Each structure stands twice: as structure tokens, then as C-alpha cells.
Amino acid sequence: MVQVHRNGEIFGDGRGRAARGGRTVLVAGGAGFVGSHLCDALLAQGHRVLCVDSFLTGSHANIQPLLNHPAFRLIEADICHLNDIDEPIDQIYNLACAASPPQYQADPMHTMMTCVQGTGNLLRLAEVNGASLLQASTSEVYGDPEEHPQREEYRGNVSCTGPRACYDEGKRAAEALCFDLYRAGRVDARVARIFNTYGPRMQPDDGRIVSNLVVQALSGDALTIYGSGEQTRSFCFVSDLVRGLIALMNVDPNPGQPVNLGNPGEFTINELAEMVVSMVRCAGEIVYRPLPQDDPQRRRPDITRAEALLGWSPTVPLAEGLRKTIDWFETFLTETKDRRRPKTGPARESEHRTTPVPVGA
């Protein structure tokens, strides 16, 4: 058990003040897709929330309803330059980083520095506050995995020179920092390895598969599939993930090891496209584009550890979560009248089209 000292007191696991009432929780990346849902959940539990966001990929709309909440404070800052906060903090969630491949590849230097410098700054903040810190790591630390499903013991198959490296290697380095400071007894650090997550408030043009397919289907555009579409992913609805993050932050004792959080249901990209087409009831034309370099072929979490240590497992099936996501995007697109095509993806010269996926398939 880590003992963290602050102002001459000793806080077991850095959660001493928390035991005396509502906590002050800093959410870095709190205006992002996952972060804003986490802010909602923490406020609903009665905590004070300090939302730190640079708005590089976060959105004001995500937190607009919270701005008048008496327990919510917005701090516009980049964690790469964050040194101190002018009030005591009990817990820190670090979700601050671009997470979709096109976005994190747009400024690889900044992505890497966000993971390393930014996480370092938050760890220092946690240390001086005697706060617990939960680092949002990623299934990307497994790279294009040769072990399936992925257990936390698996060390991964990551290219350190490829286009995903700024994110994958940055997140791996951030894990190293967390466990170094944890072992040294300096910070009660916890690490969640988050697998593909989806739900309301995804950005319509962030280039990820669920948002791309849903926006394309609702807009009557062709659905873009990279490669053969036989690569797999496991999709976790955002409310399940947020529940897992909060459970990991609060479990006692600190597991002292990374914990996978994801939904073990595994689908090919073609299967996902069929579901979206059937639920949106659109024509379902598919356009195939080249597979991006280093795109993982299979991904599925082994969540045995999360089940055993946190009593956590996801409860929202893909069809149910997709329904909620489609409904949200439908409203969002109507309200914004912003039926934008996703701006990302490899060059169009090498596209080829197929016959539509049958509705109801």
C-alpha cells in the first residue's frame, strides 16, 4: 500500500481527505468524449470536478450543460504546461490526449509530449497533493497483437518507428512513469488500458470507425471500410467504460498493475458496417480503401483481471449502444445541420466499391 505524505499528514492511498467527504477530482481531458461523460458521473456522485482541457480535440459543447453547476470548474490548459492548481486535489484522471489515429497523427510531437511531459506534470501534481492518479492507457500498447485475446501480461507487438508510434510509445512511456512513481511510493497511480469505446459525443469527423460509419449512414454517403474489413475490434459503450474507470480509481488496495477495460464482444469491421446499415436503414453502399499502415488485425480484451479485482464487466450490448449512438448523432446532425463527410482516410484513387450490404443483414 502506498503511503503518500501531504502537509505532514499520511494519507493511505492518497485518499485521506476523500474519506472525510466529497472529493475534489481533476479530470484532464474533461471536455473530450470519455472525459465529459466521466465529469457527468463524478458530479452525479457529489464530487467537485476540475475539468482541465486544451480544447485541441475536446469540445465546448460536451461540457456546456455543466458550466453553471456549482461543483464544476473549467480550467483551459494544456497538460504539457500545467504546473499547479490553486486548490487541493484528491484524485486525478488523465484522459488528456488525442485518441483517434488521424488526430493523434496530425501532430505526432505534441501527442508524444502530451503522453510523457503531460503525464509527468500530472504525476507531480498528484504527488504534491497526495492525490491518486488514474492514467488512461490504451489497447494500443499491445500494437498489432500476436496474442489473442490480449491479457495484461502480454508485452505487445508495437512498431516504434511507424505512424502509430507517437501514441503507442507515448502511452507505453506514460505507463512506465506511473509505475515508477507507484513503486517508489510517491504516487498512488493506477493504469487502465482502454479498448475501443463508442457512444454519444464522439466527434463526427474524428475518423474513428463507429463515428465514421454512423455519420456516413445517416448522411446517405458510402461507408468507408479500410482493407478487407475482416480486421476485428471489440467495442465498449462509454457508460460501461466510465463505470470501470471509477471502480479502478477507488478500488482498495491499488492493484499495482494495469487493468484492461473493454467489452470482449469481438466484431469484424464488415459486421459492424452491416449492423449500422441495418439500424439506420440506409442504402449501405460500401467503399473500400487501403488499410492504414500498422493497423491491428485483431483486438479483444481479456477482462479477467477487471472482473476479479473490480467486480467490473460491461453490460451494454453492441446493438443497444449503437442504437443510443445513432440516435444521438441523428439529433446532433439535425441540430448542427452539419452533415460533414469524415475528412480522413487514405487517398481515394485506390478505392473500390461493392454492392450494398442488404438492409437487415
149 binds ligand UDP (CB under 6 A): no
User: What are the cell numbers at 236?
Assistant: 465498449
Provide the 10 A C-beta neighbour count for residue 264.
16
- HSE-CB for 318 with a 13 A CA cutoff: 21
- Only one of the segments 82-90, 107-115, 202-210, 276-284 lies at the binding site for ligand UDP (rule: CB under 6 A); that segment is 202-210
Give the angle subtended at the CA of 125 by the CAs of 128 and 84, to the nearest 5°.
100
H helices then E strands: how many in the chain? 12, 16
C-alpha cell at position 326: 445513432
In which region does residue 340 sit, left (phi positive, over 0), alpha (psi from -120 to 50) or beta (all else)?
Answer: beta
By CB under 6 A, the residues from 287 to 316 that bind ligand UDP are 291-292, 295
Task: Respond yes or no: is residue 167 known to be catalytic.
Answer: yes
328 part of the interface to ligand UDP, by CB under 6 A: no
Residue closer to ligand UDP (CB basis): 100 or 135: 100
Cβ atoms of 204 and 332 within 8 Å: the answer is yes
Nearer to ligand UDP, 150 or 254 (CB): 150
| Interactions with ligand UDP, residue window 80-139 (CB under 6 A) | 100-101
Per-position x/- string for 335-354, each x denoting binding to ligand UDP as judged by CB under 6 A, each - no binding: ----------x---------
In DSSP terms, 73 is beta-bridged to 50
Q: Minimal distance in Å, beta carbon 212 to ligand UDP?
A: 4
**Does residue 276 interact with ligand UDP by CB under 6 A?**
no
Q: Which is nearer to ligand UDP, 256 or 345 (CB)?
A: 345
Residue 269 binds ligand UDP, judged by CB under 6 A? yes
Region binding ligand UDP by CB under 6 A among candidate stretches 124-132, 222-230, 246-254, 319-327: 222-230
User: Phi and psi at residue 203, in whole multiples of 5°?
Assistant: -75, 135
Q: Does 224 bind ligand UDP (CB under 6 A)?
A: yes
3 state DSSP class of 359: coil
Among 36, 91, 117, 212, binds ligand UDP (CB under 6 A): 212
* Contact pick of 154, 226, 328, 332 for ligand UDP (by CB under 6 A): 226
Residue 325 touches ligand UDP, criterion: CB under 6 A: no
The answer to whether residue 268 forms part of the interface with ligand UDP (CB under 6 A) is: no
Select the span of 3-11, 14-22, 44-52, 221-229 touching ligand UDP (CB under 6 A): 221-229
Please choose, out of 5-13, 52-60, 143-151, 206-214, the segment that lies near ligand UDP by the rule CB under 6 A.
Answer: 206-214
| Helix/strand/coil percent split, the chain, to 5 | 40, 20, 40
- Find out whether 122 and 82 touch, Cβ atoms under 8 Å: yes
Per DSSP, the residues of 231-286 read: -EEE-EEHHHHHHHHHHHHH-SS---S-EEES---EEEHHHHHHHHHHHHT----E
Q: Which residues bind ligand UDP (CB under 6 A)?
A: 100-101, 196, 207-209, 212, 224-226, 231, 233, 269, 291-292, 295, 345
Point out the residues that are catalytic.
167
